[in-house]
Every structure is written in structure tokens, then in C-alpha cells.
Structure 1
Amino acid sequence: MQSETTTMIPPSLVIQAQNVRFSYGSHPLFKGLSFTLPAGSITGLLGKNGEGKTTLLKLLSGLLLAKGGSLTVLGHSSRERSVPLLQEVYYLPEEVQLPATSATQYLDGAGQFYPHYDAHLARQLLKELDVPPTNNLRRLSMGQKKKVALVLALSLRVPLLLLDEPTNGLDIPSKSKFRQLLVQHISDEQTVLISTHQVRDLEQMIDRLMILHQNQVICNETIARLESAFYCGIASEAPHVAPLYSEPSVWGEIVMTPRTAETAETGGFSMELFFNALMYNTQAVLQHLSQPANDTLTPQAPLSL
């Protein structure tokens, strides 16, 4: 049997992708994808439909195999699908399929394949999310099933957690509760990568942003760096700065501009506005972002639009 290929990867990095290639049949998706992801972050993965967000999560988890390049996850080649790697990574798809058993039986059954599974935490989370622990999962609503899947993801305690649209199917109170539980129960040793279109659901908890565009990672920055570089807010509060992007709102024109001393104490940061600006005015946004950070500007709180 072929031995597993293990690659030395800096301890500060959880993922290291170099020139990754992947295609569906004759249709190429990634032609040379390269990026790194540091440990201990909660990263939002954004991109338009068809950019490959779900495919990337599956490549990282070993559910899909790259056609070329190097993809190292937690020091292991994802292509090898080794037991040590599979025990340390968990991928939660957008749509979940659960067996005809109770929540506790399902959680404990799946948890036995992961060395850090916390059965006590699983039961605590079921209670906090108001999920009946003994009811047949097939009889639960879609939202309740999604909660069970999220409970499993959090209670496995894996070093790398991959979540694909985790808030889809949840009602508003459940989304809020999930955000609280994720922040509360994810340790500093864990890394979370969340693919989502629901940026407002998760904006308050994400500390890093990775954006796919034209099947390449064009932005991979901390929220602190982005909010120190850009002003997001009412146009009238940044009257002397040319906007990189603008859109109407009930409060007036909302803009994203380079942050200057004039806007250092105003505005905030909006992931949604930044993403739209990056899609609309890609080169100008990236050019400004490539400039040295202005450490004299104080990062602002996320903007509620």
C-alpha cells in the first residue's frame, strides 16, 4: 500500500494551496489556484455563483481530488485522504441528509470517528438550539435537521471546520443563536472556513475574508486590515473622497471610499458593500489594498446597512 504523503507546512498555516488545478470533465474550474490560510481564524469565503466555493471546500476535505498542483491541509496532502487528516477536518454541506435515528444516536455514532468529539457538548447544544434529542430525525423540519448537523460540526472539535452556507434553512432566532454558539465554542486552536452568500448573517463573527473571482483568490485579508483601508458609510460623511463604489439606500447614498484621516472616526465596514465594490471596480480596490496599511487610522465597527 502506498504510504501517505505528508508535507511540511508552517505551524501558523492550516492550508497551503499552490497552483491547484481542477476541472469537471472538459470544463476547467481552477487553472492555478494559490493561497494560504492561517490558523485560528474564522474566515468568510465569498464569490459569485459558479466561482467554485463548494468545490474548494470539497477539495480541502478530500471529497474531490485536484487534477494538479499541491494542496496541503494541516500538514497532509488532501489527495491522500489519510485517516489522520480525515479525523481533523469536517465538511458540512449546505444540504444535509440524516438517517432515521435519534439526534443523540446520530451524533454519538458519527462522533466515534473523531478523537476530540465531545458528547456532553453535543447534548448541551441540542438543548440550546431546542432540538428534541430522542425524536426520529426524519420527522424533524428542515431547520431542525440543519441544527442537528451544526451541533455535530461544533461538537467534533476538529482543527479545521468547513461550513457551506451554514445559516440556510434557519429562522432568524436560530441564526442568532448559531452565531453565539460558534463564537462561544470554537477554540483558538480551531480554524473555520465558511462559504456563504448570507454575509449579513455572519458579518459580526468573521475575522478574515477570502474572495474568489474568475476562479482565483483575489482577496485574502483580515477584516481589521480591510476596515482600516476602506470607509463604508453615508456619502455625505466622506464628501471630499472619490468613491470606489456607491449604491442607493433608504438612508441616502452609501459609498465605499479609501479611508483617510477625514473618515478615520466615522463610518464602519460592510462585507457586502466591500464585495460589491470589489466586483464592480476590481482593479482600483485591489490597487488601494496593495498599498501599505495606515496604522494611524482606527478600525471601525462593522456597518449595519
Structure 2
Amino acid sequence: MRSLRHFDLNLLLVFEALMRERHVTRAAEKLHLSQPALSHALKRLREALEDPLFIRTENGMQPTPRAQALQPVVQQALALLREGLAPPAVFVPAKSKRRFTLATTDYFEEVMYPTFLSQLLAYAPGISFSIELITPDVLSEGLEQRHVDMVVGLDSQRTLPSGVIQTPWMDEELVCLAANHNNRVGNTLDIAQFSQELHVELADISGLLPSNIDSCLVRHGLTRRVISKNLNYIAAARVVALTEAIMTLPRQMAERFVAMLPVRLVEPPKELPALNMTLIQHGLYANEPANAWLYEVLTEFAKRFNYQKGTNHQA
């Protein structure tokens, strides 16, 4: 044999079948080949290995010493190939003790995560999660190095590192929050008045997001004054409750603060974009069974959550 580069590896299956059956017709049947096709393959195998390999005797077809020496090598090689080419092991949530790491927004962690986790634990009691902040390192290195399994809830990004996959997940409308004592603001805001009000907003810890609100205002030749950038929603809402500033945030988060603080909902300018939340993962692991399962359950959760949200709003 001159070189593996010129050797047809399919011939190893022919060799394996002939060693097992010691009969051309039976070997052909096992491989779902015609007898002439298998005989031709055997001829090629003999030429490649420069040995007759099998000789017809009074006791049937017998392997030569060269064939006998090859048998354990071929068996081991085929066993390794079959193992390596087999589909990945099925992920079984009910039996798994896997810990997933999610990088998320405050909105997902506060509004959705408790329900998401409680639903999962009902049929996957051994699974657990770690929650981390979304930082530039998460997208540039954390996903690729698998320090983070998935980024959940980040607003749609225009540019992401190579290999990172972003898919739409859930949309949420934005509303404004104002203090009950704030007489400057009525029940609705047009874009001109919106730009003139004082604002509180959530600080972008990730360093990734140009403010969609500010981008919208710029398109209309407007700007705004932000008097406070806070690290979490509750602190920002408390600032709103004690000042005449307003805050723009997802509706369901705002509704929670209305029940907790002396604040009220205000309809924002119609020009403001919705929050387009996404799931972000690395292409290296997207087909890995555990990650594929996580993506699926998050997607199904979003469908149920949106349905429930729509039902509540209709009520």
C-alpha cells in the first residue's frame, strides 16, 4: 500500500464483512451490495494491500496471515470511527445535574427568570443556573470559551463577534414612568415634550448599546438631558419617585414599580422603538445537546410568556 491518501476507506467495511462471513455472497448481503460489486471491491482491496487476503480452500474462504494481522487494527479503527461519528448523547433534563450560566439583563432576571426557573425545576430538578451581567468580555470571549452558555434578553445588536449567533426572542413595548406628584407630565408624551423632560436611565454596563432612545431623538433633531444613570431598575425608579424626572423602561417592569412606589405609567411617544430582545450563543456549541435544549426551552417560554402577557393586557 503506497499511501493512505489513495486508499478508499470504504474498503475497510468490505474487509470487515469478509473476515466475519468468510463468504463473498453473505458478505455482499450484509453490506447491501451485489456479489459482482463486492468481488470488484475485494479485487481493489487486494491490489491496494498487495496481498490476496482471502484464499478459497476446501474449508471455505480463509484469511491470509496479512489479513489476520490486519483484523484487530481494522476492528479498532472502525470502532473508533463509529463511536466518533455517532450522534451526540441525548440530553435528558430529568436526569441532568448541569449548571448553565446565563448573562442577562435586569429585566429578564427580575420579570421572567423566577417563573422560568420554577417551571424548569418541575421536570428537571437537578438543573441549576448562574446569572451574570452582560459585559463586553461575555460576547468577545465568554461565549467562545464557554464561560457563559447564552446571553438572554439583550436588545438586538448590529455587530457581534465572528461566530456568535443572534436570534430574535421576545419583543416588549416601552413605557414611561413618572412620579405621582409630577404635574409637568400628563398621561401621554409627544416626542417634543419627551425630549424636554429630565430623564433617568439604566447605565449600559455592557458598553455595547448606543441608546436606541437617543438615536430616535437624533433622527428627529432632538436631544434629552439624563440626570441619573443607575445600575439597576429599582434604584432608577426610586429616583423617579422623588424627582420630576421620567424613565423609559419595559412595560412589565414599570407595572411592578407602580405597585411598589408612588409612580404612574405614561404612554411614550409613538416614535420610540420597541425593545427587541434576543438570544445570543456561540456557533461552536449551538448544536451541542444541552445548549440546544436550553435554546428550545427559552424559546418556548417566550411564546407562553407573550401569550400570557397578551391575555393580561386584554383583561
Q: TM-score category by the smaller chain?
A: under 0.3
Q: TM-score, normalised by structure 2?
A: 0.24
Larger Rg: 2
Normalized per residue, the structure richer in helix is 2
Q: TM-score, normalised by structure 1?
A: 0.24
